[in-house]
Chains A and B, each alone.
Chain A
Amino acid sequence: QKEVEQDPGPLSVPEGAIVSLNCTYSNSAFQYFMWYRQYSRKGPELLMYTYSSGNKEDGRFTAQVDKSSKYISLFIRDSQPSDSATYLCAMSPSGGYNKLIFGAGTRLAVHP
């Protein structure tokens, strides 16, 4: 079993839909949780990061962490074709100075 599980998709939604992306993990030591967006042939772009459990909102993006269930989510409201990309969850037990453990990435396609 991988430390971080993420459905690779692809996930296809119509423009304006609410998108839910999820990851589960097995290591209860993880405290820092991040979501990255990666466009084709580009480096990952940090979208959100959260520490421990709870919610965090930034514009159309909301990140949720449920440590009791070892489950994290990223919601995208009013999805746009420009949101079409691969979304990677990543986590670490002690922040950015330690290596991140990545999920496989979910490919999202938002069609007009």
Chain B
Amino acid sequence: GAVVSQHPSWVICKSGTSVKIECRSLDFQATTMFWYRQFPKQSLMLMATSNEGSKATYEQGVEKDKFLINHASLTLSTLTVTSAHPEDSSFYICSAPDSLGNTIYFGEGSWLTVV
């Protein structure tokens, strides 16, 4: 089946710094990828839709200048959390639809802790 890979799996950074999370589709091309955020014991919250070759579409309430998304190629999307603060600490997950567009596969997720 399709595989989506995220890196890093976990990261700790200092408050005020920026952190980049990569999402790769390993055996298929993805013109669209989705970025989610998940707080403990809660469901996934869609942050933005990443589109290859164009600007990302952000959900209401998500700061596009804080969460920079770049879909550089058909297999790579990146999420950069800029000027990170402790309240940005969370589980970030990316996903991509399969080549037929029938369903969506998720990455393993990235744990961000801002200290």
Flag if A88 contacts B44 (CB, 8 Å).
Answer: yes
Flag if B91 contacts A96 (CB, 8 Å).
Answer: no
In the complex, whether B104 has a CB less than 8 A from a CB of chain A is yes
Interface contacts (Cβ under 8 Å), in number, total: 57
Flag if A103 contacts B103 (CB, 8 Å).
Answer: no
- Distance, CA A49 to CA B102, complexed state (A): 8
Which B residues touch A88, using CB under 8 A? 43-44
- A41-B111, A44-B93, A88-B43 are contacts. A99–B34 as well, Cβ < 8 Å? yes
Flag if B103 contacts A43 (CB, 8 Å).
Answer: no
Mask for B21-54, Cβ within 8 A of A = 1, else 0? 0000000000010100000001110100100000
A77 to chain B, nearest CB (A): 22
Nearest chain-A residue to B97 (Cβ)? Answer: A96
| Interface SS majority for chain A | mixed
- Distance, CA A95 to CA B97, complexed state (A): 8
In the complex, whether B78 has a CB less than 8 A from a CB of chain A is no
- Distance, CA A96 to CA B1, complexed state (A): 15
Which B residues touch A51, using CB under 8 A? 102
**Within the complex, which residue of A34, A42, A44, A97 is in contact with B44, where a contact is CB–CB below 8 Å?**
A44
- Distance, CA A94 to CA B111, complexed state (A): 30
In the complex, whether B77 has a CB less than 8 A from a CB of chain A is no
Flag if A102 contacts B44 (CB, 8 Å).
Answer: yes
B4 to chain A, nearest CB (A): 8
In the complex, whether A85 has a CB less than 8 A from a CB of chain B is no
**Within the complex, which residue of A36, A43, A95 is in contact with B102, where a contact is CB–CB below 8 Å?**
A95
Flag if B109 contacts A42 (CB, 8 Å).
Answer: yes
Flag if B43 contacts A43 (CB, 8 Å).
Answer: no
A41 to chain B, nearest CB (A): 7
Which B residues touch A102, using CB under 8 A? 43-44
Interface positions of A from 64 to 97, Cβ below 8 Å from B? 88, 90, 95-97
Q: List the interface of chain B (C-beta within 8 A of A).
A: 1, 6, 32, 34, 42-44, 46, 49, 91, 93, 97-98, 100-109, 111
